[in-house]
Structure 1
Amino acid sequence: MWYSNILETIGNTPLVKLNTITKGVPGTILAKIETTNPGNSIKDRMAVKMIEDAEKSGKLKPGGTIIEGTSGNTGMGLAMAAIIKGYKCIFTTTDKQSKEKVDALRAFGAEVIVCPTNVEPEDPRSYYSVSSRLEREVPNSWKPNQYDNLANSQAHYEQTGPEIWEQTEGKITHLVVGVGTGGTISGTGKYLKEKNPGIQIWGIDTYGSVFKKYKETGIFDKNEIYPYITEGIGEDFLPANVNFDVIDLFEKVTDKDAALTTRDIARKEGIFIGNSAGAAVAGLLQLKHLLKPEDVVVVIFHDHGSRYMGKMYNEDWLRERGFLKDEKLTAKTILQKKEQKEIITIDSEKSVFEAINTMKSLNISQIPVTQQGMVVGKIAESDILNALLERPGLKSAPIHEIMTAGFPFVDLNTSIDKISALINKENAAVLVEDEAGEIEIITQYDIINAISA
């Protein structure tokens, strides 16, 4: 058996029991693995549905251009379908989204415009506004508007809901979903509640989003809105696809808990998923007191971990945000173990001859070069030798004439792995600003000393 094209492989994704990360959580916890869709996310389902509905209504015409604001996954589904159906794609996204998502969209031939995150939806620079402007300006174009296009939730009513009902043999008691556009939770939840009104639909929200407070109070509170790191869930407006009548409750999850749980799922369950799935599991763990041993819980695993390699799966990224504190040495701990010595620098206006004498007297081979107290470069024995072989008279010249690029700067949370990678033939050391604002130097010897201490 074969399929006529890649779009026919969308759906019928597996349901997999979680065993380790949910240890201590009452009930049977099942993950709906949407990464097996050809675009590696649940958004393939609604992307094709929106296109097909637009074709039927005449909104999307042959040879047209699809223009959409997307965090990446919807764009992937739209781009994939556009290739099969013969359309062009222009996507707007935010600078919060991972580089991997943007690169993936471009790999499918789409044009991607990156817009600022920290602006209101009505701001002309927002990715919502830019996509709407492009739709007006580009001939024969169509904007799916995944947030308010009800084909989004309808796709999940027709596909995801029935799949989960059949796979659990109607035993599902709870559905847990990260909420962004609202299509997945609203469409799937509507179908499941029609089958059994007692099924609980839990939406996972993030701090900086308006959903939870609006559900609980009916108030759209702009004070709830602020930038957050978690991708794929939360909003600063109310999409038409979010059916608050279907969703029984919202639970907020911090950026840190979402990121670390995403990482833990890969390490504890062997399932490589994205940030919104990590948030969904983190939310479930916070709500475990509401579950009973006989419950059957389905958690949507929305997308694939490969789109977050530079973020949630990057230890330096986690450390820089204070999310990860483990046994690995960092610049801070290396400095704490280092014998404290005053860093030797030399002013850029000093002569090459003075640099030679400083190196001789202190038995060092490289010195950071400063200008008005700021590190602007470095001078090494090899730099001096090469310069003097060409022009012996350079001894009296100022150092800035032969200095080279300075040592790399790292911050206190930089891992020993990254520091080691930066120290090479060109750089015998890295510089770091300590907590008092003083510049410190870390050499290979300091790393060895810290490891063996």
Structure 2
Amino acid sequence: MQFCNNILETIGHTPLVKLNRVTAALPCPVMAKVEFFNPGNSIKDRMAVKMVEVAEQQGLLKPGGTIIEGTSGNTGMGLALAAVIKGYKCIFTTTDKQSKEKMDILKAVGAEVIVCPTNVEPEDPRSYYSVARRLSKEIPNSFYVNQYDNLANRDAHYEQTGPEIWEQTDGKVTHLVVATGTGGTVTGAGQYLKEKNPAIKVWAIDSYGSLLKKYHETGEIDMSEVYPYITEGIGEDFVPQNYDMRYIDHFEKVTDKDGAIMARRIAKEEGIFVGYSAGSAIAGLLQLKAQLKPTDLVVVVFHDHGSRYVGKIYNDQWMMERGFLDVKTVKDVVNGRRNLPLVTIGGEEKVSDAIAKMKKFEIEHIPVLHNGDIIGAISEGGLFNKLMDDVNLKDAPVKQVMHAAFPEVSMDTPIEKLAVYINKENGAVLTKDDSGSWHIVTKYDIIQALGS
């Protein structure tokens, strides 16, 4: 029989997958170390279990104890899995910028989650770092993990991640690319690989709004570099002790938008459903294209799974609200055509009046009103069929021949989504602008918009 004694034994030995499309512009092969194959769907499982084991060995974590940590979600998941197997309780603090999916997943595996504000200094008593430290002092038999300064974090990657990459590439790796936050992966794996081959370059991907890049280059902690950003899991507003800058050759900053768009590209073009930081890592690598040669072999760490971000970077509405998604919407269609008022007709008016309006305004679809409310619609195609059956219907009231009202959509609906509403049976949708005025969007309008 081949089996694992518990889920923790499945951690590690994740696959190396060659990327083909998103890195096609690069002169050398790029391999992704796909870490969401770990049971908690992220690379953080490795260091989470390592930190728990070291705490047990040092007597810091005792039977029945409570694990306390500040986490963006993934480390918490790894710690929660360890707690389930080993019989501990978990309390996690996190920030209000983290995805709801991450918080729900932590709760699903039995953890208590406390949400703290993002935009406060690390030492502010409201920060998720400070709240975690305070709880560890107040709760008996508890252990504050502190992944940022707990060196078992980077030890896990020195002992596991680095050796796996070396063995999987048969020692041919020339560059390691890591979107980095706590510093454990980039430092631990980077140290191991550089000990094997000092010529290997280690590139850390940072976020605008983080101070790590400037600290690496100047040794200065410049708080003017720090400002709010959206990317999750990378960058810092302080320098964790897990960093040893000797093992990092370069920091490259990536915008929130570029990281989000690239993550979506990886999912669509490579079939690998990744998290935000993977998008940032590849975006950063592409920015460094000029430094690569055909003989190089790049390994990029894909930290976690896209399921953590379905309400954010994989949500069109969320992307559009932040200006990350360049898609045409119903609003673009309305704003891009002649600013004409919506042509309507009353339900008691004659069919012949509707036909006259269609001819006058050169339109095919007209909403039907009653006391100011939209109660139905008529279309040129539907009228043609009815009149062919009974020519006398031209004198009948419109309400007698109307069909169901056109569907209503919001102004920010992407054009591509209109295919759900506009089809063979229904030729238009209605939308209302901020002033409360109605507009109609037809198949012709969409064709014109897509062709412009």
TM range (shorter): 0.7 to 0.9
Aligned residue number for residue 114 of structure 1: 115
Cα distance between partner residues in 2 of 1:409 and 1:183? 47
More moved, 208-217 vs 333-342: 333-342
Aligned partner letter, 1:8: E
Q: 1:338–1:446: 8 Å Cα contact kept in structure 2? A: no
Moved >4 Å (runs of 4+) = 358-363, 379-382, 407-410, 416-423
Shift of 1:129: 1.0
Cα distance between partner residues in 1 of 2:209 and 2:333? 33
Aligned residue number for residue 59 of structure 1: 60
| TM-score (structure 2 length as normaliser) | 0.81
| TM-score (structure 1 length as normaliser) | 0.81
Q: CA offsets, 1:315-349, max 9 Å, x none?
A: 221111111113x43323234347532899xxxxx
Shift of 1:450: 3.1
Shift of 1:176: 0.3
Cα distance between partner residues in 2 of 1:432 and 1:86? 56
Aligned residue number for residue 381 of structure 2: none
Give the secondary-structure state (helix, strand or coil) at the position aligned to 1:446: strand
Give the secondary-structure state (helix, strand or coil) at the position aligned to 1:204: strand
Aligned residue number for residue 214 of structure 2: 213
1:447–1:58: structure 2 CA closer, same or farther, 3 Å change rule?
Answer: farther
Aligned residue number for residue 415 of structure 1: 414
1:130–1:446: structure 2 CA closer, same or farther, 3 Å change rule?
Answer: same
Shift of 1:76: 0.5
Aligned residue number for residue 32 of structure 1: 33
Q: 2:148–2:242: 8 Å Cα contact kept in structure 1? A: yes
1:136–1:174: structure 2 CA closer, same or farther, 3 Å change rule?
Answer: same
Q: 2:209–2:229: 8 Å Cα contact kept in structure 1? A: yes
Equivalence map 1:128-143=2 (5 Å): 128-143=129-144
Equivalence map 1:290-305=2 (5 Å): 290-305=291-306
Equivalence map 1:31-430=2 (5 Å): 31-326=32-327, 328-337=328-337, 339-341=339-341, 364-365=369-370, 413-416=412-415, 430=431
Q: CA offsets, 1:148-198, max 9 Å, x none?
A: 000000000000011011111111111000010000000000111111111
Q: 1:157–1:187: 8 Å Cα contact kept in structure 2? A: yes
Q: 2:27–2:294: 8 Å Cα contact kept in structure 1? A: yes
Shift of 1:417: 6.6
1:280–1:223: structure 2 CA closer, same or farther, 3 Å change rule?
Answer: same
Q: 2:333–2:441: 8 Å Cα contact kept in structure 1? A: no
Cα distance between partner residues in 2 of 1:224 and 1:53? 35
Q: 2:178–2:205: 8 Å Cα contact kept in structure 1? A: yes
Aligned partner letter, 2:340: Q
Cα distance between partner residues in 2 of 1:212 and 1:257? 18
Aligned partner letter, 1:37: N
Q: CA offsets, 1:19-69, max 9 Å, x none?
A: 111112122211001010001100000000000000111111111111111
Q: 1:43–1:77: 8 Å Cα contact kept in structure 2? A: yes
Cα distance between partner residues in 2 of 1:239 and 1:185? 12
Give the secondary-structure state (helix, strand or coil) at the position aligned to 1:245: helix
Q: CA offsets, 1:98-155, max 9 Å, x none?
A: 1111111111111111111111111111111111111111221111100000000000
Identity among equivalent positions (%) equals 61
Cα distance between partner residues in 1 of 2:419 and 2:97? 29
Question: Which among 421, 437, 441 is matched to residue 446 of structure 1?
Answer: 441
Cα distance between partner residues in 2 of 1:301 and 1:287? 18
Aligned residue number for residue 387 of structure 2: none
Give the secondary-structure state (helix, strand or coil) at the position aligned to 2:369: coil
Give the secondary-structure state (helix, strand or coil) at the position aligned to 2:61: coil
1:171–1:317: structure 2 CA closer, same or farther, 3 Å change rule?
Answer: same
Between Structure 1 and Structure 2, how many residues are aligned?
A: 394
Cα distance between partner residues in 1 of 2:218 and 2:30? 30
Shift of 1:11: 0.2
Cα distance between partner residues in 2 of 1:141 and 1:221? 34
Question: Runs of 5+ in structure 2 lacking a partner?
Answer: 350-366, 377-406, 423-428
Q: 2:368–2:374: 8 Å Cα contact kept in structure 1? A: no
Cα distance between partner residues in 2 of 1:186 and 1:132? 25
Aligned residue number for residue 400 of structure 2: none
1:29–1:417: structure 2 CA closer, same or farther, 3 Å change rule?
Answer: closer
Question: Runs of 5+ in structure 1 lacking a partner?
Answer: 345-357, 368-378, 383-406
Q: 1:178–1:279: 8 Å Cα contact kept in structure 2? A: yes
Shift of 1:446: 3.0
Aligned partner letter, 2:142: S
Aligned partner letter, 1:184: T
Shift of 1:448: 5.1
Aligned partner letter, 2:438: I
